[in-house]
Amino acid sequence: AILRAWNAACRSAGSPTLVISSRKYLVGPLQFEGPCSNTGVFTVRVDGAILASTNLSLYEGDEWILFSHISNLKLTGSGTFDGQGEAAWPLDQCPFSSQCKVLPV
């Protein structure tokens, strides 16, 4: 749902605003990619909580959320990006093995 809304806003000219409402969203890796059609500021207002999945098999790379190739991006709002570190830290085997999977950031 978030990426569908992103894609629609990205195709909008002018100064689009994407609002992520006041609820919790459990997500795996998210890539917000441009270039977008905006000619003004592209505002992403996060009022909810975006929570990272602790299922490491969902992550191919080491990114959890990535914004790329977007001009005039403004990130605002009263919400949070919660990487759920406390739940993920016990899964970090890198201090003990060179064959580990790096936790997403």
CB atoms within 10 A of CB 71: 12
What is the biggest distance separating any 2 CA atoms in the chain, rounded to whole angstroms? 50
Query: What is the structure's pLDDT at 80?
Result: 96
Measured distance CA(84)–CA(59) in Å, rounded: 15
Output DSSP code: residue 56.
Answer: G
The structural domains of the chain, with segments of one domain joined by +, span 2-91
CB atoms within 10 A of CB 32: 21
Residues in the chain predicted with pLDDT less than 50, given as ranges, are none
Contact between 79 and 50 under an 8 Å Cβ cutoff? The reply is yes
Query: What is the structure's pLDDT at 45?
Result: 97
Quote helix, strand, coil % in the chain, to nearest 5: 20, 30, 50
- Model pTM? 0.81
Query: What is the structure's pLDDT at 66?
Result: 92
Query: What is the structure's pLDDT at 52?
Result: 92
Query: What is the structure's pLDDT at 62?
Result: 79
Write out pLDDT tens, residues 19-48. Answer: 999 999 999 899 999 999 999 999 999 999
